[in-house]
């Protein structure tokens, strides 16, 4: 599944621990104990990654509504961030909302 689709659904992995410290989000991967730090924009995406909201909607509601950024630029940056986080197993990307993917199994 490619995160390049604006209809991609993203969810936080259950194999991580996270804690918000000020405006930053600290995330530790259980897979390899790697530690990641997200800025306020990354934190907004992380917090909205519920597995049922499309990435495009997250960008519109959590990024563009809070930060002064053009929607096209915000979506492109979000796709890159999600791609990187998915590569480390921090986010899970799917073509379907989380509930539908589970029901199909």
Residue 105 lies in a domain: no
Could you tell me the residue range of the domain that residue 16 belongs to? 9-98
The pTM is what?
0.84
When divided into structural domains, the chain yields a total of: 1
Closest to 98 measured CA to CA, from 67, 54, 52: 52
pLDDT digits (tens, 9 = 90+) for 21-42: 888 899 998 888 889 999 999 9
Query: C-alpha angle with apex 67: 58 to 18, nearest 5 degrees?
Result: 60
Residue 103 lies in a domain: no
d(CA 19, CA 28): 9
Q: Which band of pLDDT confidence, cut at 50, 70 and 90, is reported for residue 103?
A: very low
Q: Is the pLDDT of residue 87 over 50?
A: yes
Residue 14 lies in a domain: yes
Question: In this structure, what CATH number is given to the domain that contains residue 93?
Answer: 3.90.930.60
d(CA 36, CA 39): 10
Give backbone dihedrals phi and psi of 48, rounded to 5 degrees, phi first: -90, -5
């Amino acid at each position: 599944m490619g995160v390049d689709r604006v209809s991609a659904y993203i969810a936080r992995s259950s194999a991580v621990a996270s804690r918000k410290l000020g405006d930053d989000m600290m995330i530790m991967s259980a897979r390899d104990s790697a530690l990641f730090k997200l800025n306020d924009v990354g934190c907004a995406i992380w917090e909205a990654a519920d597995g049922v909201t499309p990435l495009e909607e997250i960008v519109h509601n959590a990024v563009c509504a809070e930060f002064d950024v053009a929607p096209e630029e915000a979506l492109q940056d979000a796709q890159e961030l999600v791609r990187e986080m998915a590569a480390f197993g921090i986010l899970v990307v799917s073509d379907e909302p989380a509930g539908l993917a589970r029901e199909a199994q």
